[in-house]
Structure 1
Amino acid sequence: MSRRLVVELLTLAAAALAAFLIRSFVAAPYSIPSESMLPTLMVDDTLLVEKWRLGPARRLSAFVGRNEPELPARGDIVVFRAPPAGRQTYVKRLIGLPGDRVALRGGIVILNGKPIARWRIADFVERVTPNSPCRPDPGTRVKLESDDGGSLCRYPRFREMLPDGRAYPILDIADDDADDMPERTVPADRVFVLGDNRDRSADSRFPAKDGGAVGMVPIKNLIGRARIVLFSTDGRWRWTAPSTGRAALRRERIGKPL
């Protein structure tokens, strides 16, 4: 084997190892499969997920005897292996940290005995596309409309603000049983998460069930924090037809910080 070939093979091996380490311990992409995080995240948004300080990095830190990295903050969008089996990957917003007391009353989050601020803002209006159909189901405040460009879906939108001043938009599209939850204390090894699309999210309000809700999420299941939207399409893109890519691309979402 020639020296040049050896060098090339070693270079490829080093590049593969570097890619593996970066994806495992630093950052990796994640694609949004559902509307549970509307209006913040849309179906087929591809996110950059920061893994440093969470997931494998947390376990590596403990293995080498260093102090465990810090937990994510309230309001962070986190990616995690969904309880109970951990075979699926979910993304939700972290609301409660270990020791927090969380309840819901009429859709309002009660954190450590105090309701967090929430107020009405402009409706969220989304264009109907192959991956984002409109579902104005009975009992919801979702409206299907039309304009010269096609069909639109209109949702009532609110802004929610945590005690530290961190604010983010949410959807509240119905009055149902999910709007009320008795107070629960988050265990020392878990976090409480909610979807921003409150009436269409299987999250910590409900018992963990594979393919469904997640209950309170074990800290060890956390993979990372969502930091930025890298890429987004509306469902018309077909890899077998590259010409569809331009029309399908949601350019306004690329680079959106989270």
Structure 2
Amino acid sequence: MASTTGKKDGIWETLKTVFWALVIAGLFRTLFFQPFWIPSGSMKETLLIGDFLFVNKMAYGYSRWSCPFGACPIPGRIFGSEPERGDIVVFRHPVSGADFIKRVIGLPGDTVQMQNGRLVLNGEELPQTPEGTFVETFARQGPVGQFPRCANAPVGEGGDCEKQRLRETLPSGRSYIVLDIAESFADTTPVFTVPEGHFFFIGDNRDNSQDSRAPQSVGGVGMVPFENLIGRANRVVFSSAGRSMLFFWTWRSDRFFQRLE
């Protein structure tokens, strides 16, 4: 009898330990850092498919989207501070509910336009300086197994897939690399005015990014409400070029703990 009681006590203690571990993990994920895998190439070369990072959820305060499934009973945003232009941000798509990661380009009140592939911010064209060529292998990437787009297409599988690298500089002096593949419909846009309480996002891989340049009605992102921002990405923690993180021979050790521009 004593042995049975001891087993029941042991099971109960195990269940309590698991319960509190899940509570602590949930609080950590909700309040501090959220893990995020990069599923697409829209932020190349800054972020590659298979990069793994933790998003700083303290950076912009908290909203309902700080909790999984939007379960936080928070109206608007609390302890909020706006992102800076150039920040890399994970946000919840206003319509689809999917998590996206892009770069903040337009703040409330800004005007944003693309003209012939050049970004025009508040009427001033941002300077771009050529910085060589981004080269990757033309092969299936990540769990989805998509091939990258190449400026030198057509490219045979296993060949070098090239894109032009350009360093773009914001008025603050902050700069980062963007990629150019070819002329596209998003290279020239109307002038967008960012409404109060919203932000304008663009991917660094300019010709392969679903972002604020297209409205939500046609599958784009449109203007993103402040409430939908989840957190800021500062550093890649881990990176794998394969279909699974368990394929250790595909790990990109040179990207471990790499700081993001």
2:201 — aligned with what?
A: 193
**1:10-47 residue CA offsets vs partner (Å, 9 max, x unmatched):** 44433221110111121011111111111111111112
Identity %: 41
1:51 — aligned with what?
A: 57
Unmatched runs of 5 consecutive residues or more in structure 1 = none
1:13 — aligned with what?
A: 19
Q: 1:207 to 1:66 in 2, by over 3 A?
A: closer
RMSD between aligned alpha carbons?
Answer: 2.9
**CA positional deviation for 1:64:** 10
| Correspondence for 1:26 among 16, 27, 32 | 32
1:135 — aligned with what?
A: 149
Distance 1:191 1:204 in 2: 9
Distance 1:76 1:174 in 2: 25
What amino acid maps onto 1:72 in structure 2?
Answer: P
1:221 — aligned with what?
A: 228
Q: Provide TM-score, normalisation by structure 2.
A: 0.82
Distance 2:73 2:22 in 1: 25
What amino acid maps onto 1:177 in structure 2?
Answer: F
Q: 1:24 to 1:173 in 2, by over 3 A?
A: same
What amino acid maps onto 1:123 in structure 2?
Answer: T
Q: Does the aligned pair in 2 maintain the 1:29–1:48 contact within 8 Å?
A: yes
Q: Is 1:40 aligned to residue 46 of structure 2?
A: yes
Instruction: Count the aligned residue pairs.
Output: 244
Q: Does the aligned pair in 2 maintain the 1:141–1:156 contact within 8 Å?
A: no
Unmatched runs of 5 consecutive residues or more in structure 2 = 67-71
| Correspondence for 2:180 among 157, 172, 184 | 172
Distance 1:43 1:89 in 2: 15
Q: Is 1:253 aligned to residue 255 of structure 2?
A: yes
Q: Provide TM-score, normalisation by structure 1.
A: 0.83
**CA positional deviation for 1:256:** 0.9
Q: Does the aligned pair in 2 maintain the 1:134–1:144 contact within 8 Å?
A: no
